[in-house]
């Protein structure tokens, strides 16, 4: 597993794990190549339970739709390996996201504290409250450098700004790296999906039509559309690949 500056790179690791699994020669796997035809059951709804805001439309009206989509084109052994790897990735990557979210919040708190300090120092002192401008800001950023940053907040704003900007740039680079690897992981996984039925495509269209503007931006990005504010007319039969349809879900 590759390591970054703060620890293992789980996003890159699971992307590589899935890609390697799907690239292996079937003859080298423990079981012979055997495609499985899956019945439409309610189990597929587990993957939809964490979907975006319009998920209830799919769940209520078509409980068996989209069942067993991921891994349907694989042999039974490889499908089980894929599902196991994906389940592990959910836990590991969720933890990574929580950690970086905490770091982002720390940067936001530091910026806010710095603005408060600058505002306080620039505010005029009235004769009635002469000591107000002398009050110090209490800062307790939850980072390993909290003592250093607290000291800087009490002394030199320009130095604090430099440190915060550097940390913010590092976080931005990390987020871009995580997003790129997650996109590759999803795209690779979606190549294992079966084709959607006509009924499933109809439900997918209904699902898209009920999305909020913010989630429509995500759909437009997946479809490589520049503007999601204008009506999108998408022909799922002609314009959208099998894997892209599942990405929208």
Q: What percent of the chain has pLDDT over 70?
A: 62
What is the 3 state secondary structure string of the chain?
CCECCCCECHHHHHHHHHHHHHHCCHHHCCCCCCECCCCCCHHHHHHHCCCCCCHHHHHHHCCCCCCCCCCCCCEHHHHHHHHHHHHHHHHHHHHHHHHHHHHHHHHHHHHHHHHHHHHHHHCCCCCCCCCHHHCCCCCCCCCCCHHHHHHHHHHCHHHHHHHHHHHHHHHHHHHHHHHHHHHHHHHHHHCCCCCCCHHHHHHHHHHHHCCCHHHHHHHHHHCCCCCCCCCCCCCCCCCCCHHHHHHHC
Q: pLDDT tens across 19-72, in order?
A: 999 998 765 555 444 444 433 334 444 444 444 445 555 455 455 777 788 898
Q: pLDDT tens across 103-123, in order?
A: 999 888 888 888 887 777 665
Specify the range with the lowest mean pLDDT, choosing from 93-107, 111-125, 128-142, 196-210. 128-142
Report for 26-35, 134-143, 144-153, 159-168: range of highest mean pLDDT: 159-168
Neighbours of 200 (CB within 10 A): 23
Domain boundaries, the chain: 1-36+72-194, 51-71+195-249
Entry pTM? 0.67
Specify the range with the lowest mean pLDDT, choosing from 22-26, 129-133, 204-208. 129-133
Q: Half-sphere exposure of residue 54, counting CA atoms within 13 Å on the CB side?
A: 18
Confidence check: pLDDT of 5 > 80: no
* Confidence bin at 225 (pLDDT 50/70/90): low
């Amino acid at each position: 597993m590759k390591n970054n500056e703060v620890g293992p790179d789980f996003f890159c690791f699971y992307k590589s794990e899935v890609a390697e699994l799907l690239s292996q020669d079937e003859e080298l796997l423990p079981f012979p190549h055997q495609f499985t035809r899956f019945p439409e059951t309610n189990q597929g709804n587990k993957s939809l339970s964490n979907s975006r805001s319009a998920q209830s439309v799919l769940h209520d009206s078509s409980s068996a739709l989209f069942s067993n989509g991921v891994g349907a084109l694989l042999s039974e052994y490889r499908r089980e390996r894929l599902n196991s790897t994906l389940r592990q990735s959910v836990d590991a990557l969720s933890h990574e996201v929580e950690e970086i979210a905490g770091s982002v919040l720390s940067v936001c708190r530091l910026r806010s504290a710095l603005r408060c300090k600058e505002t306080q120092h620039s505010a005029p002192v009235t004769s009635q409250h002469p000591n107000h401008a002398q009050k110090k800001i209490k800062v307790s950023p939850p980072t390993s450098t909290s003592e250093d940053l607290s000291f800087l907040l009490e002394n030199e704003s320009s130095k604090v700004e430099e440190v915060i900007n550097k940390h913010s740039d590092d976080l931005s680079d990390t987020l871009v790296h995580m997003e790129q690897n997650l996109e590759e992981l999803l795209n690779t996984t979606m190549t294992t999906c079966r084709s959607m039925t006509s009924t499933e495509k109809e439900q997918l269209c209904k699902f898209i039509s009920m999305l909020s503007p913010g989630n429509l931006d995500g759909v437009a990005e997946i479809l490589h559309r520049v503007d999601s504010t204008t009506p999108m007319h998408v022909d799922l039969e002609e314009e959208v690949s099998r894997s892209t349809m599942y990405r929208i879900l």
